[in-house]
Amino acid sequence: MDWSAKSPAHFPNSGAAPRAASNYNDSLLFEFQLERIQVVLVSPRNPLNIGAAARAMANFGIRRLAVVAPHEAHWREAKSAVGAPDLLADARETGTLAEAISNCTFVIGTGTLAHRKPEEPAVALPDLAPIVRRELAGGGQVAVVFGSEKRGLTGEDLSHCHLLVEIPTDPRQPSMNLGQAVAVCLYALSTRVSSKTQTSGALDLDFETRERVNPDGPPATSGDLDLLAEVIEKTMRAANYSPSVMQDANRHDTRVLLRRLTLTRRDTRRILGLFRRILWRLTHNTGDSHQ
């Protein structure tokens, strides 16, 4: 059967009709969880791959797409987005990855470990779903980031990520087509554990309890961490922490470190205030160390 020929009414989770009214694919995450997941494509080269990614997103009920610095200007017209032209029309286009994920609390980079030793924690795709479920249960916003067809995600891209996920593939052909990679990842992330095997209960939250948060406060967003990293970098420069040739490396390392710490927004504000005070003292050089 050619599902692409069906009308939107046949797809209760597509946004045309509430999935709750049907038993179709009840194993998918709930709408309020799916809307917390965003797909980010970094520097995609082929509009057809962007369209294929959008179609895969529609298959699994994920509607938020951000496209970072695409090579082709007319990518929204991709004919491969069968059943998902509205998703392409509503997608955000940004100039940088930082901008695309600024409101996300958990950022997942994708790639292969065949030729890289990531600084971020690395997990295999089958082990990723429970991590994402915990983030969603706490009200977090999740981004899944895919690199360009030519080079994948760079080290600079990955410094914005909390972890790297690898799709298990044959070592003789480790790379995967962009649209296929999106489909495989979203299948793993958007499918709930059946009630017979689920023990944590983290996913089956009703509407009223879906905003459950960490007792220490909500997690810091990527934008929060980038702001903190910027102030730390300025403080390091003011203190002559290292030669100027090390500034790019320091910026990278700080960004990676902050994501390892799993800070809350409250933590970030307190640390930000501390570094701003230190920076003010360094740049104003009051000479009074007892105030």
Confidence band, pLDDT 50/70/90 cuts, at residue 287: low
Beta strands in the chain (DSSP E): 37-42, 64-68, 92-94, 106-111, 122-124, 142-146, 163-166
Q: Are 61 and 14 in contact (CB under 8 A)?
A: yes
Report yes or no on whether pTM surpasses 0.85: no
Q: Where exactly are the structural domains of the chain?
A: 3-209, 222-284
Q: Which CATH architecture has domain 3-209?
A: 3-Layer(aba) Sandwich (3.40)
Position 291 scores a pLDDT of 45
Of the candidates 261, 220, 271, the one whose C-alpha atom is nearest the C-alpha of residue 105 is 220
Tokens of 158: 């990955």
* Mean pLDDT, all residues of the chain: 82
- Give the rounded distance of the alpha carbon of 20 from its chain centre: 26
Confidence band, pLDDT 50/70/90 cuts, at residue 31: confident
Residue in the block written with tokens 């998703």 = 87
* Alpha-carbon gap, residue 49 to 67, rounded angstroms: 12
Q: What is the DSSP letter of 206?
A: -
User: Which span out of 20-24, 30-34, 103-107, 174-178 was modeled with the highest average pLDDT?
Assistant: 103-107
Beta strands in 63-192 (DSSP E): 64-68, 92-94, 106-111, 122-124, 142-146, 163-166
Find residue 68's DSSP bridge partners: 42, 94
Position 286 scores a pLDDT of 58
Note the pLDDT tens digit of each residue in 147-179.
999 888 999 999 999 999 988 888 888 888 999
First-residue to last-residue Cα distance in the chain: 75
Residues 6+ apart with CB under 8 A from 184: 125, 167, 176
Of the candidates 134, 114, 111, the one whose C-alpha atom is nearest the C-alpha of residue 123 is 111
Q: How many CB atoms lie within 10 A of CB 251?
A: 17
